[in-house]
Chain A
Amino acid sequence: MEILTLKNIHKAFGEKKVHQGVSFSLHSGETIGLLGNSGTGKSVLLRSIIGLERIDAGEIYYRSQRLDILDEEAYYPIRKKISYSFQNSALFDSLNVFDNIAYPLFEHTSLTEEEIHKKVDDILNLIDLPHAKYLMPSDLSGGMQKRVGLARSMILTPEILLYDEPTAGLDPVNTDIVIDIMNEFKKRGFSGIFVTHDIPAAKRVCDRILILRDGKIYFNGTKQEFIDSTDPFVNTFGSNNKGPL
């Protein structure tokens, strides 16, 4: 079942046309890998889905609800269902790890302080940072910040998670931890769109691969179709390197 549909999306920044008719759908329980060269508008597409950027033309649907016509206030309930994990983590630097992760719970739930602590402890165990609960973001490494950012975007158990390069700049150990978290989330039945340049990571997490080129979806296929592709442009992404599946 399609839970997110993008139809003919157009977006430009001044003269620069970023999207010129992007269309695709995300199905329930599926994780899509969104690839493309730098500057092709992958992150802009994720930001457009949750309304942080406004599209110039086209339609975005979450289930049967049209999103692109909503005003900022009407978008807030949607952002509990579709969560966005920032490339730079975007943790609140004046709040500690607990307050960062608990922020959506304090804002959107009527849970008691004790219940919130329990939920935060659970997710800190999931991201393997139980000791970091009261540390400030500045005390964390880049990889730890990414994991806390992921935890914060997952804490409300959204239906769709938009990952903006969660493994960028991480060492292999931290990359493995982040991929395990994403796969755990996927195992629980949630959907995701994974923007990345990390092809091995995309192969390990994604069910389907999309490639953005010249403002449009150039390739849309299953992971196997991506690997088997003989298209020279698709191959520039290392699709035929037989990495781990």
Chain B
Amino acid sequence: MIKIKEAIILTGDILIFTKDVFARTFNAPFYFARLFDQILQIGYGSLSISIVIGFVTGLVMTLQFGYGLAKFGGTLYVPAIVSVSLLRELAPIFTSLLIAGRVGSGISAEIGAMNVTNQIDAVRALGTSPIRTLVVPRVLATIITLPLLATLASFTGIIGGMLISYLEFGMTPGFYSNKVLSTIVFADIFGSMIKCAFFGLVISILACYRGFHTKEGTRGVGNATTWVVVRSSIIILISDFFLSKVILLGFY
């Protein structure tokens, strides 16, 4: 009973924090240089790992579906299945989980360490808002970069699938590309980007919130990173089902 009450209070706190972030996102002063810096750190910094994850997922999926469907003479459907599953589900989920681990933990550790060393109080004492200077750039950067990273992961996955389709099943790249292009629609890409933007919001808000509430010194910083990765991963996986349902109803 106490845990449920705590969970409700925590959810309320996080929603109030989110409201504060939105309230300070759309009015001056704006910190464009910090936003650009965060986009570089979060986006550019996660580029290589996103490409690897997308590419390897494409390779494995093509291999598994290719041999699985070959039993029923369905190898020709591999490009369609791989591209749609990558774009709609696998790339957004895998990339978001990766960003939750890499970026979410990084943000919470950085802000948490600032909190326990009074640096956030120093930002306030110097007449500036830590929400504006620290949180808004990180939240916006994550919302902007995560959809782009997931889309990139999808396309590298599709290229990986093309490679395996050619090497293992003798499917020409031209045929593969035609099949992919005739299958995917704009809603696949758009829906994936909407999902990722939401996941980016969840990861960055949880990371910043937890960073702001970090206590107990360095031990608290460690606990904060674990908390953020676990919570945001669970929320991503659960909300993915509901978002997929809404997107299927709304765009198809």
* Chain A residues with a Cβ under 8 A of chain B: 47, 50-52, 72-73, 75-80, 83-84, 86, 88, 90-93, 103-104, 107-108, 152-153
Q: Which of A51, A52, A90, A91 has the most CB atoms of chain B within a 10 A radius of its CB?
A: A90
Q: Is the CB of B125 within 8 A of A83?
A: yes
Q: Which B-chain residue is minimally distant from A104 (CB atoms)? A: B126
Which residues of chain A have C-beta atoms less than 8 A from B125's C-beta?
A: 50, 52, 79, 83-84, 86, 90, 153
**Distance of A32 Cα from B128 Cα, bound (Å):** 27
Q: Which B-chain residue is minimally distant from A76 (CB atoms)? A: B127
Q: A-B contact count, CB below 8 Å? A: 50
Chain B proximity of A92: nearest CB distance (Å): 6
* Chain B residues with a Cβ under 8 A of chain A: 114, 117-119, 121-122, 124-129
- A86 contact from B122, B127, B128, B129, Cβ within 8 A: B122
Q: Which of B114, B119, B127, B128 has the most CB atoms of chain A within a 10 A radius of its CB?
A: B127
Q: Which B-chain residue is minimally distant from A52 (CB atoms)? A: B121
Which residues of chain A have C-beta atoms less than 8 A from B129's C-beta?
A: 72-73, 76
- B128 contact from A51, A76, A83, A93, Cβ within 8 A: A76
**Distance of A91 Cα from B113 Cα, bound (Å):** 12
Which residues of chain B have C-beta atoms less than 8 A from A84's C-beta?
A: 125
Chain B proximity of A105: nearest CB distance (Å): 10
Which residues of chain B have C-beta atoms less than 8 A from A76's C-beta?
A: 127-129
Chain A proximity of B214: nearest CB distance (Å): 15
Q: Which A-chain residue is minimally distant from B110 (CB atoms)? A: A94
**Distance of A47 Cα from B118 Cα, bound (Å):** 12
Q: Is the CB of A90 within 8 A of B119?
A: yes
Which residues of chain B have C-beta atoms less than 8 A from A88's C-beta?
A: 117-118
Which residues of chain B have C-beta atoms less than 8 A from A52's C-beta?
A: 121, 124-125
Q: Is the CB of A92 within 8 A of B122?
A: yes
- A79 contact from B114, B118, B119, B127, Cβ within 8 A: B127
Closest 7 CB pairs of A and B: A90-B118, A90-B122, A79-B127, A76-B127, A84-B125, A80-B127, A104-B126
Q: Is the CB of A107 within 8 A of B128?
A: yes
Q: Is the CB of A92 within 8 A of B119?
A: yes
Q: List 27 A-B contacts (CB under 8 A).
A: A50-B125, A52-B121, A52-B125, A72-B124, A76-B127, A76-B128, A77-B127, A79-B124, A79-B126, A79-B127, A83-B125, A86-B118, A86-B125, A88-B118, A90-B118, A90-B121, A90-B125, A91-B119, A91-B122, A92-B119, A92-B122, A93-B119, A103-B126, A104-B126, A104-B127, A107-B128, A108-B127
